[in-house]
Amino acid sequence: MPPRPFPFRLKVGIDVCHIPRIRDIITKRPDAGGGEARPLGQFLSKVLTAPERQYFWHRFQDEDAAYKSIDKVSTFLAGRWAAKEACRKACTHLGISNGMHNIMILPIEPSNNAPNAESMPPKGLILRDTLNRQTKASESKGTLIRKLGVGTSSFNINSIDGQFCEVSISHDDRFATAVAMVPSLPASWHDRTVAENKETISSIDNGNIGDSVGTDLLDILEQEKETNARLESLMPKGLEVPDVKKIQEHITLLRRRNNQLETFARAARLEQEISQSEERLEKVGFKVRGVRS
């Protein structure tokens, strides 16, 4: 009898996210002048949908409070990232560098519009269409969402075309992990998502990175690097920008010379110990021959 096929139409995805990496991204200031802009709001708009950002600000109050609890925020966002990536890997119609805004991770049930972390674990929701932008740009500072609260009429879960799935998130001090079980989705979802992704890629190429863009973590790191001030602008006037390659070569040379010096020092100590041992033996009447050089 041939092996039986797996009886359920389920896909499984898993992902691991390095928490310190998320912390580095959301704590780097994109402007060298120390202005008001902080990368937390930018990261949220790239990774989370509007209801997820609404829940985030409800949980962490505002930007100042979030930065005071940066370890908790980093762990929370790393878990959400891992959960979304786990869902994406279980969805054959979502690509590597997209899908963040086609997936929602919220503690919510189909019959309940109000996310509530105290009463239920987070659920995954695969969206057939990305949600439209529902908030203004000032949301990045956590002001608008905090006033709106959670469970407002702007977000009605029963009006969304999507598929619930099971997710499990776990973390320690350094890593967040997540597993997702997603039912097989209709083939029609693939065609629509492909068309949306073409528009997303086009908007990225044109430099219009907005709320509808789902990005990979490596892409975010590259974008954060581009927003950081150039090294030349940070150098005092009159000083040349150092050649990083030459500095690395010089460090390698210094380490090699340091290793050589340590070897010579060990040899000198060993020679001294041998000489002292020979003198002690000669004092008690033993003749040491053929040892001294």
How far is residue 2 from each of residues 5, 41, 108, 164, 240, measured CA to CA in Å?
A: 9, 54, 41, 33, 72
Cα–Cα dist 222/43, whole Å: 13
Q: Evaluate if residue 46 carries a pLDDT over 50.
A: yes
Q: Evaluate if residue 241 carries a pLDDT over 60.
A: no
Say which residue, 207 or 177, is predicted with more confidence: 177
In a 3-state reduction of DSSP, which class is residue 177?
Answer: strand
Most confident of 66-70, 202-206, 233-237: 66-70
Whose CA is closest to 44, among 74, 86, 83? Answer: 74
Cα–Cα dist 52/57, whole Å: 9
Given this model, what pLDDT does residue 128 score? 82
Tens digits of residue pLDDT in 106-120? 987 766 555 554 567
Q: Evaluate if residue 270 carries a pLDDT over 50.
A: yes
- Cβ contact 15:168 at 8 Å: no
Give backbone dihedrals phi and psi of 181, rounded to 5 degrees, phi first: -115, 115
Given this model, what pLDDT does residue 118 score? 54
For residues 25, 212, 108, 149, the Cα torsion angle rounded to the nearest 10 degrees is: 80
Domain extents in the chain: 10-230, 242-293
Cα–Cα dist 156/114, whole Å: 9
Look up residue 277 and give its amino acid: S
Tens digits of residue pLDDT in 155-186? 677 778 888 999 999 999 899 999 999 998 87
The CATH label, of 3.10.20.90, 3.90.470.20, 3.50.30.30, 2.60.40.10, for the domain at 10-230 is: 3.90.470.20
Given this model, what pLDDT does residue 169 score? 96
Tokens encoding 284: 């008690």
Given this model, what pLDDT does residue 222 score? 53
- Cβ contact 47:39 at 8 Å: no
Tens digits of residue pLDDT in 2-20? 888 888 888 899 999 999 9
- Cβ contact 44:140 at 8 Å: yes
* Residue 81 pLDDT class (50, 70, 90 cuts): very high
Say which residue, 190 or 283, is predicted with more confidence: 283
* Residue 152 pLDDT class (50, 70, 90 cuts): very low
- With tokens 């000083």, the residue in question is 239
